[in-house]
Structure 1
Amino acid sequence: MQNRNAPGRLSGHALTNFIATISATGGLLFGYDTGIISSALLQLRNQFHLDTLGAEIVTSAIILGALIGCLGAGSISDRIGRRRTVMIAAALFLLGTVVVSSAQSVAVLVIARLILGLAIGAASQIVPIYIAEVSPPERRGRLVVGFQLAVVFGITSSFVTGYLLRDSSWRLMFGIGMLPALILFVGMAFLPNSPRWLALSGQIEEARAVLRRVRLSDEAADRELEEIIENHDVQAPWSELAKPWVRPALTASVGIALLCQFTGINAVMYYAPTIFADAGFGQDSALLTSVAVGVGMVFATVFGGWAVDTWGRRTLLLRMLPGAVVALAVLGTTFAMHLTGGIGAWITVAAVMAYTIFNTGSLSVAIWLVGAEVYPLSCRGKGMSLVAGSHWGADLLISLTTLSLVQRLGAGWTFWLFAGVNAFAFWFVLRYVPETKGQSLEELERRLRNGTFAPVDRAVARSEARAR
């Protein structure tokens, strides 16, 4: 039996905190590399003579790479393990950062952003799973949300960096990302494998050893391992996700992933400086105001990390989404009434800040957590690939069309449209997203198998369908 109190050897909550912190560095890179483009784009447009389409392509290249990366990462993580897959993502972060920082043409810039996208997609797919599979049920929410906190901290860091380096080269803005990529690669080399992946791979004693390190007692670890083995199955094919018993998990997780983007959060994040400039702020003031948006996202995510384990995932979403609807309605009104400059500009800032807090503190907090929780172990990697793929596919569509949408509909109608999608998201959560707070991953799998997973009982749903 291992000595849990060996000097210099982390165990229990200390080890799970360390695992979550190192792993979440992938989220930091995720946020920084997606967010820095909003500041760098102001310089890139001038240096490479980019028109609106060119700016959208450079912005969106990283999203296309992320879409490819997340869809491929599921099968890879099932074969070689969660930890090694994160290390591959870290290596891609390093490569992409070197290439983007030295790009001399638009083509190389786009290729480099694609490489970074592969890394981001892989990280978004596997890091939440890795943390969820290591964490105890009562702490799983806040630890997985730590990944999203790292994402928004990375976004905020990119806004701060963009402002501080506004008179320096955009190459330095991108190059700063090499340090956290190196930390992620080296740090992951010292972390244990996921005990659930080990068990699924038939490495039962190795899984027991890891669980005994990350739980408060050997007895608790052994009980959890027995529960894992009881629900143990071989790796399932992609077709398993289409089976009726898995479908409620697919609906809830993919729905949240799509709505996280269609409600407009990344559209606001990518083009925040442009929105503020159109509202009457100068370029420097627009960049500085974007920093405030990033800070708001950090505080909203910290709050969400507390709320998911206190209120619950579903309750958090239902309490926060109405605020996002109101904020976007106000934002749309300020643009429709051309309230730019003076008090109108500050109403715009307040509306963007409020929307950012309500949306980031709800859907953006829940997306990776719910996706990592709801799938059965046998197809968790593939299920999370679909969650991440849905997220990045929707993100690609939004980032490619936001500026064009604003030009055709006007900013007012665009934000009113996003307000309507947020209202729809409230209804979707009410009907399809269950509460997962405090339940083990194996308990959630049992709920899927016995038909009690969805908040609306299947029999009730069938009765309502017949009535219609």
Structure 2
Amino acid sequence: MSEPVTTRNEGGKEFPAVTLSPAEVEREIEVQEQQSRQYMENESAYDRIAFSRIPFGARNTRALVITLGTFAAFSGMLSGLDQSVISGALPGIRKHFIGTGEWASMDDPKLANDISLISSLMPLGAMAGALMMMPLNHYLGRRNSIIVSCMWYSLGGGLCAGARSVGMLFAGRFILGIGVGIEGGCVGIYISECVPPELRGNLVSIYQLMIAFGEVIGYATGAIFFDVPSGSWRWMLGSSVLFSTILWAGMCFLPESPRWLVSKGKNGRAWQVWKSLREVSEAKNLEEYLAMEITVKNEVERSNNVAWWQRYMEVCLIPRNRRALIYASAMIFFGQMTGINAVMYNMSNLMAKMNFDDRESVLMSMVGGGALFLGTIPAVFTMDKFGRRVWAQNILVFIVGLVLVGVGYLYTNKGDAFFQANKDTALGLFFSGMVLYMSFFGAYSCLTWVVPAESFDFNTRSQGMAICSTFLYLWSFIVTYNFDRMQAAMTYTGLTIGFFGGLALLGFFYQLLFMPETKDKTLEEIDELFLMPTRKLVGLNLRNLVKHWRWVFGGMHPVEPREVRTGNTASGDAEKHEISEARLETL
């Protein structure tokens, strides 16, 4: 065996990182197989039912990994569908409940408030779901928590489709939100704990791709059912029941997270899952399993020696975890407070402001949804090639999009005659800005799921994701519920350029200075990255910016080909040096 490298977990406990020879790999596999057989023979009936999966013919481990990541991310389609379909359903909801007498007329103040609640109760329910996600993740596991979210989706979709009053519609939207909150926090954890580091960013990003695809399907559903003579909005809102049933069935074919199984002492089943997801005959995969097993056991052992409330507070009390929480929460803040969900929920209203009628508004909403979907695709396939920091800079381009949208709305503020005289210019500016904003936000939004899923250590991953998801849906609720009030106070132009655009500009500078790069790092290596104090991370980012953009200051920066091929670049050496110093500071 070659010389081991010493590493350490977040609590400061050191352990050896193994490097195995081929003969040692064979012996270790035999030991693990024997222990796994003994465990499986004595496994309880409950565990056999709760953690078994329906087998299917995956060609190899990579095929199962991609299937797991893609199908688990399919749950994002439910979230996207329920965000966008409400936009197409609102015109029918208004007409129906005015007809039943719940609202007096289109000018009824109660109508405006209730419509805001119908749109925003889903993110409010998602906050409750995000908080429920933490105990569900802890006690039931990652996969089973996603299955529980499907039950909430089905219940909420059924209530919305059969609503006989506005109150029932409120309840259905809130319950749908609970499903969104549970699923949103679980999927990123589940995928990140199951897939190899080189695929993690791409596969977690598929979740955002599926959200974007679900939003397109939601707008398309609105267009398809818009002309149904009666109850078109019921078909739109009830469509989520179909997709939640598909997800529910599909999750039964996927395994539980091996890291969660190890944390519960179910090592025998964890080994069986790991074998299905990795080629354990390759030394690096076996070493990753052994390092994961040691890390998780150490973290569980440490958490068992502290009070329950301290375990939940570790995400704030331990500096490494606190840095991850601030970083992940800031990324989510800048993603949500630049207005994306307010735009998605109110897309038909935004189109109506450009003088489209109800049907045209629903149809034209697919332009924004389609741009979001298409913009997500490049990030999904290159997230692990270019890294997180590169895609984060997309925020600059959707600032340009917000400016164009805001300028387009200026033509609607000067009366219908002026708008009609300059209609082509106004629509050109509006749709150019909308496509730029939605498409580049599609790529950026992948980070709101990738970053939290990989930033926290195992012991605080559920707490961290729960907090981040709660913030995500809180900020979504704030901008969605107050959207009409904000545009009335600021005008559409002031809201898009001044408020949303101003926050996006602030986010650009935050990411430039404070965002670490986690590309190609295992979850255990990312643990070490967050040991680095913030001031040193800022210094490292500034040095790398100067190094890579030195041509701005007067000359190209040469990079030797050998360094590029091997990855032994100066920036990589600097990062290793900073992490080593951070380790010494924490001893």
**Could you list the per-position Cα deviations for residues 31-72 of structure 1 after superposition, in whole angstroms to 9, with x for gaps in the alignment?**
111211011011111212352211101111111110100111
- Answer yes or no: is the 8 Å Cα contact 1:30–1:120 preserved in 2: yes
| Structure 2 unaligned spans of 5+ | 1-32, 37-54, 104-110, 304-309, 414-418, 543-587
Aligned pairs (5 A) from 1:81-230? 81-168=141-228, 169-219=232-282, 220-230=284-294
Corresponding residue for 1:322?
396
TM-aligned CA deviation for residue 7 of structure 1: 8.9
Distance in 2, Cα, partners of 1:306 & 1:316:
12
Corresponding residue for 2:582?
none
- Answer yes or no: is the 8 Å Cα contact 2:184–2:469 preserved in 1: yes
Q: Larger deviation: 400-409 or 203-212?
A: 203-212
Distance in 2, Cα, partners of 1:170 & 1:459:
50
Distance in 1, Cα, partners of 2:427 & 2:367:
14
Corresponding residue for 1:365?
446
In structure 2, which of residues 474, 485, 492 is the aligned counterpart of residue 411 of structure 1? 492
TM-aligned CA deviation for residue 396 of structure 1: 0.4
Distance in 1, Cα, partners of 2:527 & 2:56:
38
- Answer yes or no: is the 8 Å Cα contact 2:127–2:470 preserved in 1: yes
**Could you list the per-position Cα deviations for residues 421-443 of structure 1 after superposition, in whole angstroms to 9, with x for gaps in the alignment?**
11011111112221111100110
Distance in 2, Cα, partners of 1:64 & 1:436:
31
Secondary structure in structure 1 of the residue aligned to 2:531: helix
Aligned in 2, Cα 1:200/1:452: closer, same or farther, shift over 3 Å? farther
Secondary structure in structure 1 of the residue aligned to 2:319: coil
TM-aligned CA deviation for residue 174 of structure 1: 1.6
Aligned in 2, Cα 1:7/1:93: closer, same or farther, shift over 3 Å? closer
Aligned pairs (5 A) from 1:302-313? 302-313=377-388
Corresponding residue for 1:466?
none
The amino acid of 1:202's aligned partner reads G
**Could you list the per-position Cα deviations for residues 133-190 of structure 1 after superposition, in whole angstroms to 9, with x for gaps in the alignment?**
1110001111111111111110110001101111121111122222211111122122
TM-aligned CA deviation for residue 29 of structure 1: 0.6
Corresponding residue for 1:436?
518
Secondary structure in structure 1 of the residue aligned to 2:446: helix
Aligned in 2, Cα 1:454/1:415: closer, same or farther, shift over 3 Å? farther
The amino acid of 1:314's aligned partner reads R
TM-aligned CA deviation for residue 346 of structure 1: 2.7
- Answer yes or no: is the 8 Å Cα contact 1:37–1:59 preserved in 2: yes
CA RMSD after TM alignment: 2.1
Task: Report how many residues are paired.
Answer: 456
TM-aligned CA deviation for residue 337 of structure 1: 4.4
Corresponding residue for 2:20?
none
TM-aligned CA deviation for residue 338 of structure 1: 3.3
Distance in 1, Cα, partners of 2:221 & 2:281:
46
The amino acid of 2:163's aligned partner reads A
Corresponding residue for 2:531?
449
The amino acid of 1:349's aligned partner reads F
The amino acid of 2:373's aligned partner reads V
Distance in 2, Cα, partners of 1:459 & 1:135:
28
- Answer yes or no: is the 8 Å Cα contact 1:65–1:121 preserved in 2: yes
Corresponding residue for 1:46?
95
Aligned in 2, Cα 1:293/1:38: closer, same or farther, shift over 3 Å? same
Distance in 1, Cα, partners of 2:184 & 2:352:
31
TM-aligned CA deviation for residue 193 of structure 1: 0.7
Secondary structure in structure 2 of the residue aligned to 1:245: helix
Corresponding residue for 1:32?
81
The amino acid of 1:40's aligned partner reads A
- Answer yes or no: is the 8 Å Cα contact 1:208–1:222 preserved in 2: no
- Answer yes or no: is the 8 Å Cα contact 2:323–2:534 preserved in 1: no
Q: TM-score, normalised by structure 2?
A: 0.75
TM-aligned CA deviation for residue 454 of structure 1: 7.2
The amino acid of 1:227's aligned partner reads A
**Could you list the per-position Cα deviations for residues 431-468 of structure 1 after superposition, in whole angstroms to 9, with x for gaps in the alignment?**
222111110011001222354897315999xxxxxxxx
Distance in 1, Cα, partners of 2:536 & 2:132:
28
1:300 aligns with 2:347: no
Secondary structure in structure 1 of the residue aligned to 2:428: helix
Aligned in 2, Cα 1:174/1:23: closer, same or farther, shift over 3 Å? same
Aligned in 2, Cα 1:7/1:390: closer, same or farther, shift over 3 Å? closer
TM-aligned CA deviation for residue 343 of structure 1: 2.3
Secondary structure in structure 2 of the residue aligned to 1:439: coil
Corresponding residue for 1:333?
407
Q: Larger deviation: 179-188 or 380-389?
A: 179-188
Q: Larger deviation: 384-393 or 24-33?
A: 24-33
Q: TM-score, normalised by structure 1?
A: 0.93
Secondary structure in structure 1 of the residue aligned to 2:256: coil
Q: Rg: which structure is higher? A: 2
Distance in 1, Cα, partners of 2:70 & 2:540:
39
Corresponding residue for 1:463?
none
| Structure 1 unaligned spans of 5+ | 461-468
1:389 aligns with 2:470: yes
The amino acid of 2:395's aligned partner reads L
In structure 2, which of residues 470, 476, 480 is the aligned counterpart of residue 399 of structure 1? 480
**Could you list the per-position Cα deviations for residues 297-323 of structure 1 after superposition, in whole angstroms to 9, with x for gaps in the alignment?**
1111111112311211111112x1111
Q: Larger deviation: 377-386 or 282-291?
A: 282-291
- Answer yes or no: is the 8 Å Cα contact 1:433–1:454 preserved in 2: no
Corresponding residue for 2:577?
none
- Answer yes or no: is the 8 Å Cα contact 2:83–2:344 preserved in 1: no
